[in-house]
Amino acid sequence: MYTREKISSLMQEGGSKIHSLFLPEYVIFVKPIRKMLTDTLEIPLEQASFSIIDVETTGLSARYNNIIEIGIVKISDLKIRDSYHSMINPGKPIPYYISQFTGITDADIYDAPFFEDAAEEILTFISEDIIGGHNFSFDKSFLKKEFLYAGKGLLYNRDVCTLKLARRMYPDLRSRSLSNMCRYFKLHNEGSHRALSDAKVTAQLLIRMMEELREKHNIQTVEELLSYHKKPAAKGKTSRVKESLREEVSALPQAPGIYYFLNSKDNIIYIGKAKSLRDRIKSYFSPTAPRKAKKIVQQASRIKIEMTNTELTALLMEAESIKLMNPRHNTQLKEYGNKYFLRIDAVNEFPAIEICNYFDFDGRDYFGLFITRKKAAALLEMLHKTFALRECSDIEFAREKICFLADIERCLAPCVTKSKEEYKEEVDKVYDFLYGRNQFALTRLLNKMKEYSDKQKYEKASEVKDVIDMILNQTYKSSVLAEPVNKANVLFEIHGSFENDYMLLLSGKIYIKKYAVNGADHFEEALDDYFNGTINLAVLPEEEDLEKMKITLNWLIKNRDLVRVFYLKEYTSREELYKKISSGNFRSAPTPEVYYDIKEFINKESPEEMN
């Protein structure tokens, strides 16, 4: 049995003894953990999960002091999703100056758990997340010690520090303390020097930073974030823009589009998209540009840009061009990603809702599409908790035995009642919700929450409130379509910088006017075929079609204020449709192409500075 004093002594001698002392029970898990850590590197930032941690302690040194409070805030989809908080009994009195600084007294931690009692709960909450904080080396040193004392071994999670990011991203700031960064980003910290409040504002800070890094530095994955964050800004080695050429750089268009980096042999080595070509291209020549950007610039000779009307067409062109040209430095979008749908068997008298990963015209209705199974499952759970449709398999349904879900009024029990009319009414309400009309669902849930509260069933009321919060916080953002995606024949008009973009969704295929990355523009032909009743023999959409649909629908949901939707079934001819859309004004500007010599943007007198 090792005492705290013995462990402290071993920690001074080196980490190898600590590994052999505490990790035997974990040895068989080391390789799977390492594999998990490798897998997290390729995850896009918007799909990664972070646990931002802040601790309050009895002093500044982890060697002699202990944690008295811990707060953790979980980030996923670049939004705050959950939090954890606990006071911790350090086993000794809190120094007076710490109480003055934090407001935490001995009375606050008297009945609190010791860290070893809370350790398992903390590890479960953190799970496989990327962990982080502001000046995280401080928090991590205390966590490392406390977990070792608790016999839990070492944390293998990757970590990120907002202080290190701030030093790279904002070198001109005089101070990058948490309070100063809050002032810079205009974030309100409700309880400074308290763990949960500091963790929450640090999470907000990290989200802002990641959004800026994605937009200005093209940092899209966890690997790119960690690489940027761990490498200090090089002093005296920057890709400076010559003073005489600043006006030329500023003259780059403030418009959406895609850009290509070409080497001396005119081979494309990287393709990217931008909301603002000017801001994005300038970021490659910034002193704080990530290592990957500097490497691309070093190997490139020219930049080609193509302006687009909207960010959406830039996204589509980027995804398709990368697959066609396979540039050396592009790692994402080279393969078609996963796609998931929610499916309702409209042919069945008592349909259930299920998740599937394919798309068909088989009489069933498909909704989506979702880029991860997790997102589809989150909506399915919300539907199950809001509406009383069956959740059983067809085999279980055929047994005609009432189940637990019927007992708790979460299912209408059609297996027993056989009430087609009642069940159809409930199915119709699900369709309304999937079309974005959620008022009925909210009213039903609010009434249910009030009913549970009146009966003093507060735990049940809290569960219902969680579902209401999910809807109000738009965990699932309702579709822009008022039809199942496999039955939708729709024209979208998207407001653009120069001219508007026009897109057709017909039988699962996307057609874009004046868009021909890999061939002819079939927009007008597809529209004529629809109104002429021509049958397309290529029935099912291909991977390329589904990829375009995924990008398009997800972008439209986030930018619905820029979109007008026209359902083709409401018009008898193309002429009638054109008249409705600005008297048939479908003209769009020709796509401008511009080339720039990359050496124009780099100080020729300091070629070594790019190394």
DSSP 161-196: EHHHHHHHH-TT-S---HHHHHHHHT---TTTTSHH
Class of the CATH domain delimited by 234-333+595-610: alpha beta
DSSP 251: T
Overall average pLDDT of the 576-581 stretch: 85
528 vs 578: CA distance, rounded Å = 12
Q: What is the 3-state secondary structure (H, E, C) of 266-313?
A: CCEEEEEEECCHHHHHHHCCCCCCCHHHHHHHHHCCEEEEEECCCHHH
Q: Does domain 4-229 have CATH number 3.30.420.10?
A: yes
pLDDT value of position 507: 81
Of the candidates 430, 414, 424, the residue with the CA atom closest to the CA atom of residue 343: 430
Which of 40, 372, 48 minimizes the C-alpha distance to 210?
48
Calpha distance 510→490 (Å, rounded):
10
To which residue do tokens 């999670």 refer?
A: 157
For the chain, give every domain's residue range.
Answer: 4-229, 234-333+595-610, 340-472, 489-588
- The better pLDDT of the pair 305, 248 is held by 305
| Torsion (CA) 241, 247, 251, 256 in degrees, nearest 10 | 40
411: DSSP letter: S
Distance (Å, whole) CA 341 – CA 355: 6
How many whole angstroms separate alpha carbon 67 and alpha carbon 55?
6
Residues with Cβ within 8 Å of residue 35, at least 6 apart in sequence: none
Whether the CB-CB separation of 514 and 521 falls below 8 Å is answered with yes
User: pLDDT band at 609, cuts 50/70/90?
Assistant: very low
Looking at residue 61, what is its pLDDT?
86
Q: For residue 315, name the pLDDT band (cuts at 50, 70, 90).
A: very high
Phi and psi at residue 320, to the nearest 5°: -75, -40
Q: Which of 200-209, 233-242, 336-345 has the lowest mean pLDDT?
A: 233-242
Structural contact between residues 433 and 395, judged by C-beta atoms closer than 8 angstroms: no
Instruction: Read off the pLDDT of residues 108-146 as tens digits, 9 standing for 90 and up.
Output: 999 999 999 999 999 999 988 999 999 999 999 999 999
Mean pLDDT of 471-495: 76
Instruction: State the chain's mean pLDDT as an integer.
Output: 80
- β-partners of residue 261 are 270, 303
Which SS3 state, helix, strand or coil, does residue 395 take? helix
- Longest Cα–Cα distance in the chain: 86
Q: Does 369 sit behind a cis peptide bond, omega within 30 degrees of 0 on the bond before it?
A: yes
- Contact assessment for residue 51 and residue 73, using Cβ atoms and an 8 Å cutoff: yes
Query: For residue 355, how many other CB atoms are within 10 A of its CB?
Result: 15
Examine the pLDDT at 225 and tell me if it is beyond 50.
Answer: yes
Peptide bond into 41 cis (omega under 30): no
End-to-end Cα separation, the chain, in angstroms: 53
Higher pLDDT among residues 197 and 11, named by residue: 197
Predicted confidence at residue 20, as pLDDT, reads 35
Burial class (CB in 10 A: 0-12, 13-18, 19+), 505: buried
pLDDT tens profile 153-190 = 778 899 999 999 998 888 878 788 998 999 999 998 88
C-alpha dihedral, 555 to 557 to 561 to 566, nearest 10°? 100
pLDDT band with cut points at 50, 70 and 90 for residue 25? very low
Q: Which DSSP helix (H) or strand (E) runs through 463?
A: helix 458-472
| Whole-number pLDDT of residue 23 | 35
pLDDT of residue 105: 93
Residue-wise pLDDT for 409-454, tens only, equals 788 888 888 888 889 998 998 888 888 777 788 888 888 888 888 8
Distance of CA 297 to the CA centre of its chain: 28
Helix, strand, or coil (residue 81): strand
Any residues with CB less than 8 A from the CB of 371 and at least 6 apart, and which?
47, 337, 338, 339, 340, 550, 554
Greatest mean pLDDT range, 92-96, 292-296, 332-336: 92-96
What burial class does residue 316 get, using C-beta atoms within 10 Å of its C-beta: 0-12 exposed, 13-18 middle, 19+ buried? buried
160's tokens: 């990120």
Across residues 280-303, what is the average pLDDT?
Answer: 83
Residue with more model confidence, 116 or 597: 116
- Please, what is the angle between helix 420-434 and helix 373-386, to 10°? 130
The residues, any chain, with a CB within 8 Å of residue 608's CB and separated by 6 or more, are: 237
* Alpha carbon distance 131, 75 (integer Å): 10
Output the pTM of the full model.
Answer: 0.57
Name the band, by pLDDT with cuts 50, 70 and 90, for residue 232: low
Does the structure show a pLDDT above 50 at 196? Answer: yes
DSSP 135: T
* The pLDDT value given to residue 138: 92
Contact 286, 219 (CB under 8 A): no
